């Protein structure tokens, strides 16, 4: 009886598994096509100085303009791309597009700020990202001061051997390195110091707790003093309210980013924000 049951169970699951596999392969092929036919586009989210609201940088965030499903958020395709390796060509396209956009804004006479590019662990492992970045910067005549790279905390810590060399190679270009989603991984002070990171972007989950109690404040306060002690800047992600901003200002958090200042916006709107420059709501 057990055997029969096991068998029927197996039969029950088999079609589901192949369905999953097919949908996975379909999604993969679709994403490959999206990369090859230019369905990916970048939106930009400003980051501002905590005290003045002056724009200090803009983060490039990829979106997939799907022919039938509309605009797809990166959380719906980046993980897949990371698993199957498509993140490498996808990431190169992001780097190339960000550099081209920045060069175009410069040519139009806009007061540009550095663009911050998200780079995933797999791109670091692949060890070609620094060379690719250098090529794009050179082709567009961009100074290294105009490019920043964000790597998640877990990816930063996983960076060993070749990966660590790759981080150093990016650093050697003069490009600034930020730890993204800080607080969600397990980095140590010594690792951050060894990797010579320029700043921490504190994960939005910590910003969301800011109006809570003294313990939540203590966490942020500790991060700020630790980071400043080893010469790193602190950026708060996900700032949505003026209350959060006021607390972060009191804690001497260097920069803030979030819906309170601006959501990610398409290039035309980003150009308007560059002209405006000071972005705290009046
Ligand atoms: P991230 O780099 O931590 O980017 C911040 C995410 O939080 C963005 O989501 C942004 O739209 C969202 N966000 C910003 N301000 C607020 C706020 O005030 N409140 C809330 N609730 N959310 C806010 P998005 O654009 O959907 O990107 C999600 C993630 O996808 C990014 O997280 C990043 O890890 C990844 N990603 C995006 N573009 C790329 C890329 O070109 N390459 C790689 N490797 N990853 C990317
Ligand atoms: Mg980021
Ligand atoms: Mg983040
Ligand atoms: Mg994130």
pLDDT tens column, 202-224: 999 999 988 877 787 888 999 99
Q: Tell me, in angstroms, the distance from the centre of ligand 3 to residue 163's CA.
A: 20
203 CB near ligand 1 (under 6 Å): no
Range with the lowest mean pLDDT among 16-25, 33-42, 48-57? 16-25
Q: Tell me, in angstroms, the distance from the centre of ligand 3 to residue 39's CA.
A: 23
Q: Return d(Cα 152, Cα 263) in angstroms, integer.
A: 20
Q: Tell me, in angstroms, the distance from the centre of ligand 3 to residue 185's CA.
A: 12
180 CB near ligand 1 (under 6 Å): yes
**Residue 1 in this model has a pLDDT that exceeds 50:** no
Range with the lowest mean pLDDT among 95-99, 187-191, 266-270, 274-278? 187-191
Closest-lying ligand 1 atom to the alpha carbon of residue 150:
2
Q: Return d(Cα 109, Cα 106) in angstroms, integer.
A: 5
Across 136-154, average pLDDT = 95
**Residue 15 in this model has a pLDDT that exceeds 70:** no
Which tokens hold the place of 138? Answer: 């050179």
Across 250-256, average pLDDT = 97
Identify the nearest ligand to the CA of 42 by its number. Answer: 1
| Ion ligand 3 nearby residues (CB, 5 A) | 180-181, 237
Decide: 154 and 184 in contact? Cβ < 8 Å. yes
Decide: 43 and 249 in contact? Cβ < 8 Å. no
**Residue 186 in this model has a pLDDT that exceeds 90:** no
Identify the nearest ligand to the CA of 88 by its number. Answer: 1
Q: Return the pLDDT at 184.
A: 87
Q: What is the mean pLDDT of the chain?
A: 91
**Residue 195 in this model has a pLDDT that exceeds 90:** no
91 CB near ligand 1 (under 6 Å): yes
Beta strands in the chain (DSSP E): 40-49, 55-66, 70-72, 115-118, 147-152, 176-182, 199-202, 233-236, 255-256
Q: Return the pLDDT at 12.
A: 59
Q: Return the pLDDT at 14.
A: 63
Q: Return the pLDDT at 219.
A: 86
Q: Tell me, in angstroms, the distance from the centre of ligand 2 to residue 251's CA.
A: 22
Helices (H), 108-253: 121-126, 129-139, 153-158, 162-172, 189-194, 204-208, 214-229, 242-250
Q: How far is CA 278 from CA 49, 261, 271, in A?
A: 9, 10, 13
Q: Return the pLDDT at 150.
A: 97
Which tokens hold the place of 194? Answer: 């060894």
Q: Tell me, in angstroms, the distance from the centre of ligand 4 to residue 181's CA.
A: 5
pTM: 0.93
Q: Return the pLDDT at 263.
A: 98
Q: What is the ipTM of this complex?
A: 0.98
Across 84-108, average pLDDT = 97
Q: Tell me, in angstroms, the distance from the centre of ligand 1 to residue 9's CA.
A: 40
Q: Return the pLDDT at 211.
A: 81
62 CB near ligand 1 (under 6 Å): yes
């Amino acid at each position: 009886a057990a055997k029969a049951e096991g068998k029927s169970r197996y039969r029950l699951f088999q079609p589901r598994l192949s369905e999953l596999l097919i949908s996975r392969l379909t999604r993969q092929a679709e994403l490959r096509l999206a990369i090859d036919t230019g369905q990916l586009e970048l939106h930009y989210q400003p980051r501002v100085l905590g005290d003045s609201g002056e724009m200090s940088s803009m983060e490039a965030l990829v979106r997939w303009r799907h022919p039938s499903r509309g605009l797809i958020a990166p959380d719906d395709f980046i993980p897949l791309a990371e698993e199957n390796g498509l993140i490498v060509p996808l990431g190169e396209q992001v780097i190339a597009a960000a550099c081209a956009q920045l060069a175009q804004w410069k040519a139009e006479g806009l007061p540009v700020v550095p663009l911050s590019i998200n780079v995933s662990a797999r791109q670091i492992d692949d060890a070609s990202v620094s060379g690719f970045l250098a090529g794009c910067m050179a082709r567009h005549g961009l100074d290294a001061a105009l490019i920043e790279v964000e790597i998640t905390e877990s990816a930063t810590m996983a960076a060993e051997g070749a990966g660590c060399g790759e981080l150093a190679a990016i650093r050697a270009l003069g490009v600034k390195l930020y730890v993204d989603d800080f607080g969600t991984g397990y980095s140590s002070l010594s690792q951050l110091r060894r990797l010579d990171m320029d700043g921490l972007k504190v994960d939005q989950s910590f910003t969301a707790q800011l109006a809570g109690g003294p313990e939540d404040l203590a966490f942020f306060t500790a991060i700020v003093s630790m980071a400043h002690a080893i010469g790193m800047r602190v950026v708060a992600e996900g700032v949505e309210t003026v209350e959060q901003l006021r607390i972060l200002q009191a804690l001497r958090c260097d920069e803030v980013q979030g819906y309170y200042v601006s959501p990610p916006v398409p290039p035309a709107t980003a150009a308007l924000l560059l002209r405006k420059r000071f972005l705290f709501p009046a």
